[in-house]
Amino acid sequence: MKRGLTDIIDVKRGTTQISKIMRGITLIWEKAGGGSYLLDTYPAAVAWSLRKLSGGYTGAAIRVRRSSDDTEQDIGFDGNGLDTAALLSFVGAGNGLVTTIYDQAGTGLNFTQTNPVRQGRIVNSGAVNTLNGKPVILRSVGPDGKYISTYAPNDGAVVKGVFYVGANGGNPSVLLGSKASADFYYAAESGNSSTGTKDNGAFSQERKNGQAWSYASRDDLYTDTLSQFLLSNNTDFGFSDNSLALGYNFLNSHLYAMFSFQELIIFENTTDHLDKETKINSYYAIY
C-alpha cells in the first residue's frame, strides 16, 4: 500500500501496532513479516516457548539431552511449531530431557538446568509429551525440577505484562520464583487452605483462559490449573532476589517445583493485553 508514491511500512493507532488493514474480507495491507508471529506484532522483553514466536528469530527452541548416552542437541522449529521429527530422530526410543529453553526475544536470557536430576522431560520412552495436542515439558520425576534464567524481572518497566501456558501436572507447584530467595508467584497445592499464593509482588488484571480470575487459597490455584491454562496478568515483581526461575527457590530442593511448561512471555508494557491473550489462545486453542 502506498501514500502517493511512498510505500507504507508501519501503521499505528495511538501506541497500538497495526499488523493488517482489511476492506471487508480483502487484505489491502500487511506489516512486513506478516505479523504471523506474536513478537512481530508485539515485541517482548523475554519469550520462551515450544513454538516459534518471532519471524526474525533464527535460533533453536530448546536444547535436549538424550538418556541413552547423554548427548545434547539443539531442536528448532518445523513451521510454527517444534520440530518433533528432528526431536524424535535424535532421542530415539529413550527419554529426552531439556537442558535449555532459549529466549526468542533476542536477548539470550535463556532458562537452563545443568543438574540432570532436575531437567524436565519432553520425550518419554520415544514419544513426545503433549498437552492438548502440543508439545510440553513435564517437570522432572523428582519434586525439585526447576529452571533458572539470567533475566532480572525487577529491571525495566515497573509493571509488566506476563503470559504463561501450561498446567500443574497434578503436582504441588510454583509458577515463578527466584534463584535463592523466598520469592514466589502462584503457589498451587491440593488440599492446602493457605492464602499465601504469592509473595513479594503486586498483581492486577489477573486472567485465566480469557476471563477475569480470582482464587482464595493454594487449593483453589491447584484446582484451577490442573488442566491446560493460559494465565495472564500485569505484574510488579518486586522480588527480593532480582532473578527469575521456573519453580520455587532454584538453589534448594523443595516440594514446590515448576509447572508443566509450554510458553512464558514477558512484555515491558501492559498495552493490548486482551489482543495478546487472544493471539496466544489462537495457537493453543485452550478455550
* Alpha carbons 28 and 20: distance in angstroms, whole number: 8
Query: Strands (DSSP E) along 209-287, which ranges?
Result: 211-212, 229-236, 244-246, 260-267
- Distance, CA of 232 to CA of 175 (rounded, Å): 12
Q: What's the pTM value of the predicted model, to 2 decimals? A: 0.87
Domain parsing of the chain, residue ranges: 1-32, 38-284
Angle at 40 between CA 128 and CA 205, to 5 degrees: 80
Given a cut of 70, whether residue 26 has pLDDT beyond it is no
Fold of 38-284: Jelly Rolls (2.60.120)
H helical segments located in the chain: 38-41, 84-91, 218-224, 273-284
Contact 264, 104 (CB under 8 A): no
Q: Is pLDDT above 50 for 151?
A: yes
Predicted local confidence at residue 168, as pLDDT: 95
pLDDT-above-90 percentage for the chain: 78
What Cα–Cα distance (Å) separates residue 152 from each residue in 149, 184, 241, 264?
A: 8, 15, 9, 15
- Tally of CB atoms within 10 A around 216: 10
For the segment 160-166, the average pLDDT, to the nearest whole number, is: 98
Tell me the pLDDT tens digit for each residue of 215-248: 999 999 999 999 999 999 999 999 999 999 999 8
d(CA 286, CA 263): 13
Which phi and psi (to 5°) does residue 7 adopt? Answer: -70, 135
The dihedral formed by the CA atoms of 247, 225, 102 and 278, expressed in degrees to the nearest 10: -140
Answer yes or no: are the C-beta atoms of 136 and 129 closer than 8 Å.
Answer: yes
**167-197 pLDDT tens trace:** 999 999 999 999 988 899 999 999 999 999 9
**Side chain identity, residue 248:** Y
pLDDT tens-digit readout, 77-107: 999 999 999 999 999 999 999 999 999 999 9
Dihedral sign, Cα of residue 96, residue 106, residue 209, residue 284: negative
Cα atoms in the 13 Å half-sphere on the side-chain side of 21: 13
Q: Is the pLDDT reported for residue 111 higher than 50?
A: yes
